[in-house]
A and B are shown apart, each in its own frame.
Chain A
């Protein structure tokens, strides 16, 4: 019997199914939505997908689609139904997700969402009701309103300043994502037959996992056209169809493709991808570097973007944590990713790092003159500066308690044939000059960071050793 359809037997959500509302829609007489609902329900029934279907109700007159269709229902914000549909489809690729939207919803406020969904090309079925008006809010101009058409917000008729009618089917067909786009009408038996066929096909293509389908339905809104239903049918045929030509706009037959999940929840797989390890990292330090500070050593590494200050800051932080201390590292960049200013604050604390910034560092490593100019004066009394002597000719005058060690980071790196490793030269020099942690701590951290790439590790170890040696030589020479 026909009433055993995909429609609910009673519309409980329609004002608690009071009186006639149990079996009547909320639509006005002759509204195109009722027909589109019916063809959608029949298609779901014929394809045997009632249990898999999720219908996304839009904002507009069809906001209450969920009153009627006995499928999974989700009601979206204005224009966002395609985004909600993407969420449902990604959540359960087996579900058949239908986004049912009107012209204000899809073609105005939700343009970005429909275009993204179309271009993703996910197997989704979009039913787009174009009745050339905002009906639910009382007959305002829609993006699809015809030129000259009077609405409450185009009372003299739509004219040029209000923009041109938007041809969604043609726009969709022009995108690479969709596989099937058709525009149909509801104004006579032939068109109704085609409309039902198109809606069925849009669902069929999703069942076959082939791709994104878009069916634009030219629908009658007799109420806001201020016409009888039959006059409205005639108006759609005579006025809308010339602007919105009916027919198939795109029809491809690709291979099924959408293949996602099910997600993995195996603990081993998870621990592996996040790079976690149960291997105990060896420790080399005898104790906290009290000679720098009793509780918390503040460090600053500063240069230009690309100098590698961030890398050695993170290595220092990692090495400290490996040794059982607390460590933090925080970067600061200019808005550009490379080439701008770049500095990093690091703390190494016996128990717990409190403020992670280093406004008055114990040690500054500077890669260029501007960094030294800027941060040199902030170094704590009795502190230390290690800078790149290759590019900084004259270090500024600073508090006499601050030791300044010029090591040619760049030159030593170029001697190795790898200008890129000047930061590791700097790290070696920093280690030798500060004895913050043993050299082996830094080598271990480098090994971790390079994930066992032996060639790279050798180059970096060479660079580290050269920096270390250079700083050591300077310190030895300075010792009376």
Chain B
């Protein structure tokens, strides 16, 4: 006989409840190797016609049940008492002889009848030329998300990031989108996991203590390859700290995204314009790599208002082939980060490592200001880079050869562009609103690439205090006065 399931229409074509009515009390049938001998059916059978066998099945080491079909009246109660999907089941055909048909034939060769999904590509839609806007940094990032096609926001209020969420709470319903204020940051990131797993563009705004709470979920997102954008407006820490600007989470975003082998592209804006531009970029990257992306600003960037020019196009998002959207096309998909087999999990990590390598090779971004002939390279990101730029301008006016190297990606650290500058410079001065987390990233990136780590100086403030232009100027003037080679 042909494989029984080959003649059946796909289950989606079935009329609800139709099948159970037309059944004519078939008697039970069991492949003994799929019986775990739990005996629930024995207690369930009103006719006492199910018994434990006295022979051990060599395939399972168990004694399966057997059914006295003579006594059975086909009531079917035992089917509902058997916990195994392929345990006791109705016998399909009186002439069916299970002894001649191996289970593979009987149950069909395919794991699923779900169709093979195809991706619906994103569309870029041209925008008319608009006048510049005057926007707060968080608002600029929120508008960047809307332009990038994000219509699903999940978040929990935390200063100094909240205004971004507040704006989206107002705007998203007007665009038939969804704004959900979650019960916590823990819930937030898992809502993003669901929505991103459904293949949609989703984001949150948070700040350092909230970001800490999201790390578990970010690890799951990376493991399950779920996209999502996290705008972390970093503030002073540790603990509750304060609400002033600090680059306090560079360690977390570059090295500490939850448990396991995790990395994510980290974009570091330095102006409201970049809060918009880099948030838009973050959505492209998060889908390109199926990996979360962090936009790490500092408290000043959340709160600063400035001039923002809108881009010349926006995104109408498609739907990726891998999405668990809840429709026929995507029925066969799975979003998951568990892999019990060591070999499988090693393979998965190798796949992730390959992604990290591609990110490292292709996504390093940096901005240079007068670095070509610089003796001293100031390295600074976010708001401190603005003070550093002012310092470079002032020092250049005084004839001192200094330049600013501003990492726009904190991970991957843009070491490729930095290396040639370091070759000729007398040293590096890292300016940061933090206690060396940016410097650590720089040192690590350099140490992977060169044995000649240059002289590295630093200017640091923390707790919400920002390095000021005059400090940088004075520091470099003092360096200039030292003899070469010291």
Partner-B contacts on A (CB < 8 A):
1-13, 15, 17, 20, 22-25, 27-35, 37-39, 41, 45-48, 50-54, 56-57, 63, 66, 68, 70-77, 80, 83-92, 94-97, 112-113, 115-116, 120, 188-189, 192-193, 196, 222, 228-230, 233, 260-265, 267, 269-271, 273-281, 314, 317-318, 321, 326-331, 335, 353-357, 359
Contacts and interface: CB of A to CB of B under 8 A. Distances in A.
Among the interface residues A24, A37, A47, which one has the most CB atoms of the partner chain B within 10 A? A24
Interface in B345-371: none
B56 interface: no
Given A91-B199, A189-B77, A192-B80, A275 B325 contact: no
Given A8-B111, A52-B326, 6 more contacts: A50-B11, A84-B194, A86-B194, A91-B325, A270-B147, A273-B146
B303 interface: yes
Contacts of B132: 321
Interface string B56-67: 000110100000
Interface string B126-165: 1111111110000000010011010110100000000000
B440 interface: no
B190 interface: yes
A288 to B, nearest CB: 15
Given A74-B324, A75-B334, A263 B220 contact: no
B48 interface: no
B175 A273 contact: yes
A1 B39 contact: no
A113 B183 contact: yes
A229 B195 CA distance: 39
A113 to B, nearest CB: 5
5 contacts: A34-B82, A39-B80, A66-B334, A318-B134, A356-B300
A260 B175 CA distance: 10
Contacts of B171: 273-274
Contacts of A262: 176
Contact of A51 (B12, B130, B152): B12
B217 A353 contact: no
A87 to B, nearest CB: 2
Contacts of B383: 356
A208 to B, nearest CB: 13
A83 B154 CA distance: 10
Among the interface residues A1, A15, A86, which one has the most CB atoms of the partner chain B within 10 A? A1
B180 A90 contact: yes
Given A50-B331, A90-B195, A353-B306, A30 B186 contact: no
A270 B174 CA distance: 9
A269 B151 CA distance: 13
B460 interface: no
Given A23-B86, A355-B468, A72 B134 contact: no
Contacts of B303: 330-331
Size bracket, chain B contacts:
35 or more
Q: Is the interface of A mostly helix, strand, loop or mixed?
A: mixed
A354 B110 contact: no
B191 A86 contact: yes
A32 B81 CA distance: 10
Contacts, number: 380
A92 B84 contact: no
Contacts of A54: 198, 324, 326
Given A88-B324, A354-B390, A33 B130 contact: no
A21 B42 CA distance: 24
Contact of B197 (A51, A74, A196): A74
B4 to A, nearest CB: 5
Contacts of A72: 324-327, 330-331, 333
A336 B288 CA distance: 42
B184 A112 contact: yes
Interface stretch (B15-23, B231-239, B289-297, B476-484): B15-23
A92 B324 CA distance: 10
Nearest to A45: B11
A34 B331 contact: no
A305 B42 CA distance: 76
A47 B11 CA distance: 11
B306 A48 contact: no
Contact of A3 (B39, B83, B86, B300): B86
Given A20-B34, A91-B325, A277-B131, A357 B331 contact: no
Contacts of A10: 104, 107-111
B306 A2 contact: no
B202 A278 contact: no
B182 interface: yes
Contact of B92 (A1, A47, A263): A1
B220 A278 contact: no
A304 to B, nearest CB: 18
A260 B178 contact: yes
Interface in B278-326: 300, 303-307, 310, 314, 316-317, 324-326
A294 B176 CA distance: 48
